[in-house]
Chain A
Amino acid sequence: MATEKLLQIEDLHVRVDDRMILNGLTLNVKAGELHAIMGPNGSGKSTLAQVLAGRDNYEITDGSVQYQGINLLDLEPEERARKGLFLGFQYPVEIPGVNNAYLLKAALNAQRSANGDSEIDAFEFMKLIKDKIELMQISTEFLNRSVNEGFSGGEKKRNEILQMLVLKPQLSVLDETDSGLDVDALKVVATGINSLRDPQRATILITHYERLLELVVPDHVHVLHEGRIIKSGDQRLARTLDEQGYDWVKSEAKTL
C-alpha cells in the first residue's frame, strides 16, 4: 500500500482563455509521501491545485491525471472531494449566512453517505471535532460564525486545516496554507498537517517558504516554472532556494 501510486499526473497541459498555463507537468505521488511544490509567482501552482480539484474554466488540452487508479478528470468536484481529495484554498472564500460548523458537518456527512456510512448528528459531530478545534487553537465561537466571514487571514488558514482534519482526506493539496501566518500559527498549522501524515495518505504542499518545510519535512521538493517542473530534490533543495532564489534553477533549466 505504502508504495502505491496515489496520484499520477502525466504531461498535463492546461489552458486558461487563450493562455497556456501548464505546459507538460508530470508528477507522481505515492501514498505516505509529502511533496512540496515551490516556484515563482504566476508559475502555475494554484492552477495545478484548482485543476486537481476540478475547477471549471481550465481547459485540459493534453495529458492525464489518475487518482486512486481512476481518471480524476472525469469526476465532478464534489465526487473528487468525497473520494478524499482535499484542497486547502490559497484564498478561502467568505460565505455570509452559512454557519461554519454547519458547512463542516454537511461536508463530513456528504463524504460519509458517499462511503455508505450513516450521517452523524450534531452531538456526535461536536464530540468528533472537539480535539481538532483544540489542536488548531480555534475557539468554539468560530464554529458559529459564518464561513470565513470577517476571519483574519491566519484564521481562515487554520479553518482550512480544521476542515482537513475533520474530513481526513487521502490526498491533501494545500495551496500556500502557510502564507500570512504568524510564527505561532505556523506551528499550529504544521502540527495539523503532521498529524494527518500516515502511510495511507499523501500531501502536496504548495509554499513559498522554507520555514514551513522545517516543521513539515517533505519527501520531495519540486520547482514549478512556466507550467512545468524544472527541478526536483529533497529538503536540501528548499534550503538552497531559500538562500539563493530561483534564478539558478531557471538558467539551469534553460541550458538543459
Chain B
Amino acid sequence: MKTKDKEFSDLVKQKYQHGFVTDIEQELVPPGLDEDVVKLISKKKNEPEFLTNWRLKSYRHWLTMKEPTWAHVRYTPIDYQSISYFAAPKNLDDAPKSLDEVDPKLLETYDKLGIPLHERAKLAGVAVDAVFDSVSVATTFKKKLSEAGVIFCSFSEAVQNHPELIEKYLGSVVPPRDNFFSALNSAVFSDGSFVYVPKGVRCPMELSTYFRINAANTGQFERTLIIADEASHVSYLEGCTAPMRDENQLHAAVVELVALEDAEIKYSTVQNWYPGDENGIGGIYNFVTKRGDCRGANSKISWTQVETGSAITWKYPSCVLRGENSIGEFYSVAVANNFQQADTGTKMTHIGANTRSTIISKGISAGKAENSYRGLVRVMPTARGARNYTQCDSLLIGDQCGAHTFPAVESRNRSAKIEHEATTSKISEDQLFYCRQRGISEEDTVNMIVNGFCREVFKELPMEFAVEAQALLNVSLEGAVG
C-alpha cells in the first residue's frame, strides 16, 4: 500500500531539541583570513615557533588548494573571509581550576543539553574535558589519570606542557596537505583534545569530550591527537550538540590517532549537531578528517560513530593498517532526516601483512534526506593475506529519501580476501500497521525497527553511550513516519 504524501510531510516535523544560544561574552578575532590572522592565533595561544611555522606552511598550501566537489552533497559555497577564526570565552584569563569556578551560564548550557557534567563525571567515572567553543574550560579527573601516567588535556595545554609529543606526532597521520579542510584546519585550528597513554597502561576510565559550537559565525577547527604507546589501551568518547541558529556553520576538525605496537584505541562518536530546520535552513557543515594509524604490529583502532546531526556531513574515519596483523574497524550509524545530506564512510588502507578490517555501515534516511556511504578498501602489494569484510545496510523511511553506496576496492595483492554485502530495506506500511495493531504507536514502532537495524553498531559503543545514542536516534527520527 502506498504512503500518503500529505500525512508523511505532516509527520516529518521535528524540532531540534538543543536549539538555543548562550550569551557568554566572546573574545572574537574579526572575520577574515590571512597570514596575520594565522600568526595572531598562534601568538594568542603562546605557541612555540615550530608550531607557528607549521601553521603558516599549512596556510600557504591551503591557498593553492580547491574545495573537493566529489562528495554526494550540495551546499552554498562557503565564504572563508566571512568566518571568524578565533573565539574564546572571555573569562579565560582567570581560567577555572575546578567546576565550581566555571561560569554558571556554561553549566546551565550543559544542563539544557542533558549533560550534568559533575554528576555524570562522578557517577560514571568518566573524565570530561569539556570544550566550550574553541577553548577547554573544564577538565576533571586529571588526578586519577595522571596517577596512571595518562595525559588527557586540551590541545593548547599539551602544546605548552608536552611540545615534544606534539612536534613528533602532529600531522603524522593527517598531513596538512592531505586535503583542503585538513590544510585549513592545520593553519587555524583553535583547540581540541590531547591524549597520551604510556607503554603498557590501560587507561583507567573512558575519556569523554563534549564539543559545543556556540559563537555565531565562528568556524570551528578542532584538533585532536591521541597516542597509544606500546601495549596500551584507551577508549575515547566524543559527543557533539549545537545551538539553533540561521547561518550555516562550518566545522572542519582533524582527528589523528596513533596506535603503536600491541596498542588499542577505541574512538566512539555520538554526533548531534544542528541539522537545519525542516526547510534545510541553518545547520552545521561538517567536514571532518579522522584517521587512525595502526603504526605498530598487532595494534587495533576501531571507530564507532552515530551521526544524527549536521546539515551536511562529510566524514570518513579511516585506518591505515601499517603494522603486521593490525586491525581496523569501522562501525557507523548515519541518520539523515528532512534536508540533511550525509556523505560518510571509511577508508581502510592495508599495508602490513595479515592486516584485517571490518566495516559495518548502517544508513538511515527519512524525509527528503540523502544518505551516502563511500568506502574504499585499499590493499597494498605488501599486505600479504589482508582481509576485509564490508557490510552496508540502508534503511529508508518514507519514499522521498535516498540511499547511495559507493564501495570501492583497490587490491594490489592477490592473497587478499575482500567481502562485501549490501542491503536496502524500507519500513513497510505492513510493519507499521502490524505494530500499531498491537497497541504500539507509530513513533515507537519506527524506533523499535531502527534500533534493531542499528544493534550491531550500538553494541560496539560503551554502555552509557549506547543508551544515549539510542535516545538521540529516536529524537532525530521523531515524526519520520510514512
Min CB distance A201 to B, Å, is: 17
| Cβ-defined partner of B452 (8 Å) among A54, A146, A167 | A146
CB <8 Å contact, A57 and B452? no
B428 on interface, CB distance cutoff 8 Å: yes
Q: A55-B433, A76-B436 are in contact. Are A93 and B428 (CB under 8 A)?
A: yes
B455 touches A97 (CB 8 A): yes
The residue among A78, A86, A110 with the most chain B CB atoms within 10 A of its own CB is: A78
Interface of B (DSSP majority class): helix
Chain B residues contacting A98 (CB-CB under 8 Å) are 448-449, 452
Which residues on A sit within 8 Å (CB–CB) of B435?
A: 95, 103, 107
Convert A80-111 into 0s and 1s, putting 1 for each residue whose CB lies closer than 8 angstroms to a CB of B: 11100011010011011111001110110011
Other-chain residue from B1, B2, B439, B451 in contact with A82 (beta carbon distance below 8 A): B439
CB-defined contacts of B449 to chain A, threshold 8 Å: 95, 97-98
B4 at the A interface (CB under 8 A)? yes
Contacts of A96 in B (CB 8 A): 425, 452-453
The yes or no answer to A154 lying at the interface (CB within 8 A) is no
Q: Does B406 contact A (CB under 8 A)?
A: no
| Chain B proximity of A57: nearest CB distance (Å) | 5
Contacting residue for A103 out of B1, B440, B441, CB 8 A: B440
A: number of interface residues (CB 8 Å): 32
Which residues of A lie under 8 Å from residue B442 when comparing CB positions?
A: 78
Contact at A93–B444, with CB atoms within 8 Å?
A: no
Contacts of B455 in A (CB 8 A): 97
Given A81-B437, A106-B440, A163-B438, CB of A95 within 8 Å of CB of B4: no
Q: Interface size (B, Cβ < 8 Å)?
A: 25
* Shortest distance from the beta carbon of B430 to any chain A beta carbon, whole Å: 4
Q: Is the CB of B437 within 8 A of A53?
A: yes
Using CB atoms, name the residue of chain A closest to B455: A97
A57 in contact with B1 (CB, 8 Å): yes
Contact A77 B430 (CB under 8 A): no
Q: Does A247 contact B (CB under 8 A)?
A: no
A114 interface hit (Cβ, 8 Å): yes
Q: Does B172 sit within 8 A of A, measured CB to CB?
A: no
**CB–CB A81/B425 < 8 A:** no
B431 on interface, CB distance cutoff 8 Å: yes
- Asked if B440 contacts A93 (CB within 8 A), the reply is no
- Smallest Cβ-Cβ distance to A84: which chain B residue: B439
B459 to chain A, nearest CB (A): 13
> Are A110 and B428 also in contact (CB < 8 A) when A98-B448, A98-B452 are?
no
- The residue from A82, A86, A95, A107 contacting B431, defined by CB atoms under 8 A apart: A95
Closest to B449 in A: A98
Residue of B nearest to A91 (CB): B430
Contacts of A104 in B (CB 8 A): 438
The 5 A-B residue pairs whose C-beta atoms are closest, nearest first, are A97-B452, A107-B438, A81-B439, A110-B439, A77-B436
A-B CB contact pairs (8 Å), 14 listed: A54-B436, A78-B439, A78-B440, A82-B439, A86-B437, A89-B434, A96-B425, A96-B453, A97-B449, A97-B451, A98-B452, A103-B435, A107-B438, A107-B439
Excluding A97-B451, A107-B440, 15 further A-B contacts by CB distance (< 8 Å) are A53-B433, A53-B437, A76-B436, A77-B437, A81-B437, A86-B437, A92-B434, A96-B453, A98-B448, A103-B440, A106-B438, A107-B439, A110-B438, A167-B438, A167-B439
Give residues in B with beta carbon < 8 Å to A: 1-2, 4, 425, 428-431, 433-442, 444, 448-449, 451-453, 455
